[in-house]
């Protein structure tokens, strides 16, 4: 099969790879669409020790089952595999399982014509949903999980909270779109990329902020801050912007440098929520949110052939595309 293989830092190569063979309890999927995730870009830059080249990256995937009893079914994949027997899995927190594995991390991923996955990780697609739309399920589930945690922490509905989303990439944009669908009116998205700010303004219809050229956001202002970047600078911005008693949701994992203002966190009772991936229920809910049109117009998604994947990575790396999401088509 053809695949896009991460071979070295800042290098992915489109080449022939052996067809994957399903193991016990697994099925073979013919990939129809696979999105480029920020975590794949992190690996591309050589900053993820878990992703060791040569490796087929990619975990935001939809396609068709080509083996087993569900052969022919169009599906979206939950790419997070867990043991399904530990206490965390039994309690509904399978995403925190000590044995969790994500395809495209140590296991071969979906920037390829075929990928294998446990049969229990399949969600059958409604006939009206396209494969490109379905490939947004995984990042939507991440954003949805973050908002669900914030909702549980807040004493007020999310629609009533003054909210700052830091980062206009896919997860930040999806979080903003979901918040708008909930009725949130006081929403700001901070993004450094000029064309992405324009895209956020067009598709979300909220205020956008340029962290480089605009005056700094007022301190101690926001009830809810979502850091969808996770860098040293964005953590400082988030801590400065959050108001006493506010909720800071940390999704991104760009780097581990820097410190949080623990004094402010403690003295002003800031709730800090770390977010990792999603539960199986979040994945199902994300697919339904897409099907129901909660994300609105998806014209901000760009598609490219898998054979042009290396250029897509370079364009994202160098900021040459406004797209918050590029989906590769084998």
Domains of the chain with bracketed CATH: 2-136+298-329 (3.90.180.10), 140-274 (3.40.50.720)
Beta-carbon contacts of residue 239 (< 8 Å; ≥ 6 apart) = 248, 260, 261, 264, 265, 270
Q: What pTM was estimated for this model as a whole?
A: 0.96
Gyration radius from the chain CA atoms: 19
User: CA angle, corner 246, sides to 240 and 248, nearest 5?
Assistant: 70
pLDDT tens readout for residues 159-191: 999 999 999 999 999 999 999 999 999 999 999
Looking only at the bridges linking them, the beta strands covering 101-102 and 80-81 are antiparallel
Specify the pLDDT at position 135. Answer: 98
State the maximum Cα–Cα separation within the chain, in Å, rounded to a whole number.
Answer: 59
Tokens of 224: 């809810």
Using CA atoms, how far residue 292 sits from 126, 136, 159, 297, in Å, is 11, 13, 19, 12
How many Å apart are CA 229 and CA 156, to the nearest integer? Answer: 25
- Report whether 165 contacts 188 (CB < 8 A): yes
Average pLDDT of the residues of the chain: 95
* Half-sphere exposure in the Cβ direction for 199 (13 Å, CA): 24
Backbone dihedral angles phi then psi of residue 140, each to the nearest 5 degrees: -65, -40
How many Å apart are CA 140 and CA 129, to the nearest integer? Answer: 15
What is the separation, in whole angstroms, between the first and last Cα of the chain?
Answer: 10
- Tell me the three-class secondary structure of the chain, residue by residue: CEEEEEEECCEEEEEECCCCCCCCCEEEEEEEEEECCHHHHHHHCCCCCCCCCCEECCCEEEEEECCCCCCCCEEEECCEECCCCCHHHHCCCHHHCCCCEEECCCECCCCECEEEEEHHHEEECCCCCCHHHHCCHHHHHHHHHHHHHHHHHCCCCHHHCCEEEECCCHHHHHHHHHHHHCCCCCEEEECCCHHHHHHHHHHCCCEEECCCCCCCCCCCCEEEEEECCCCHHHHHHHHHHEEEEEEEEECCCCCCCCCCCHHHHHHCCCEEEECCCCCHHHHHHHHHHHHCCCCCCCCCEEEEEHHHHHHHHHHHHCCCCCCCEEEEEC
Specify the pLDDT at position 177. Answer: 98
Name 65's bridge partners. Answer: 29
pLDDT tens readout for residues 212-250: 999 989 999 999 999 999 999 999 999 999 999 999 999
Q: Which residues of the chain fall short of a pLDDT of 50?
A: none
């Amino acid at each position: 099969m053809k695949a896009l293989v991460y071979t070295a830092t800042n290098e992915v190569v489109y080449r022939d790879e052996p067809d994957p063979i399903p193991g016990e309890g697994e099925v073979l999927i013919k990939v129809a669409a696979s999105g480029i995730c920020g975590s794949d870009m992190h690996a591309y830059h050589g900053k993820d020790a878990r992703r060791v080249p040569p490796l087929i990256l990619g975990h935001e995937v939809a396609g068709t089952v080509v083996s087993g009893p569900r052969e022919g079914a169009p599906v979206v994949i939950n790419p997070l595999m867990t043991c399904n027997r530990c206490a965390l899995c039994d309690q509904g927190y399978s995403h925190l399982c000590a044995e969790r594995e994500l395809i495209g991390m140590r296991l071969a991923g979906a920037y390829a014509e075929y990928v294998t996955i446990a049969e229990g990780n399949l969600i059958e697609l409604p006939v009206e949903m396209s494969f490109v739309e379905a490939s947004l399920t995984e990042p939507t589930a991440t954003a949805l999980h973050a908002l669900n945690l914030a909702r549980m922490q807040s004493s007020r509905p999310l629609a009533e909270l003054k909210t700052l989303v830091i980062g206009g990439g896919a997860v930040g944009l999806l979080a903003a779109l979901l918040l708008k669908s909930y009725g949130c009116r006081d929403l700001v998205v901070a993004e450094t990329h000029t064309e992405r700010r324009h895209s956020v303004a067009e598709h979300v219809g909220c205020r956008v902020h340029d962290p480089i050229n605009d005056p700094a956001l007022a301190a101690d202002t926001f009830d809810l801050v979502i850091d969808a970047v996770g860098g040293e600078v964005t953590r400082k911005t988030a801590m400065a912007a959050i108001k006493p008693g506010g909720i800071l949701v940390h999704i991104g994992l760009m780097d581990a440098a820097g410190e949080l203002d623990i004094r402010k966190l403690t003295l002003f009772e800031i709730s800090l929520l770390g977010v990792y991936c999603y539960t199986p229920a979040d994945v199902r809910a994300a697919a339904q949110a897409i099907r129901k049109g909660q994300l609105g117009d998806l014209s901000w998604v760009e598609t490219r052939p898998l054979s042009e994947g290396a250029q897509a990575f370079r364009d994202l790396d160098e900021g040459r595309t406004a797209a918050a999401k590029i989906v590769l088509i084998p």
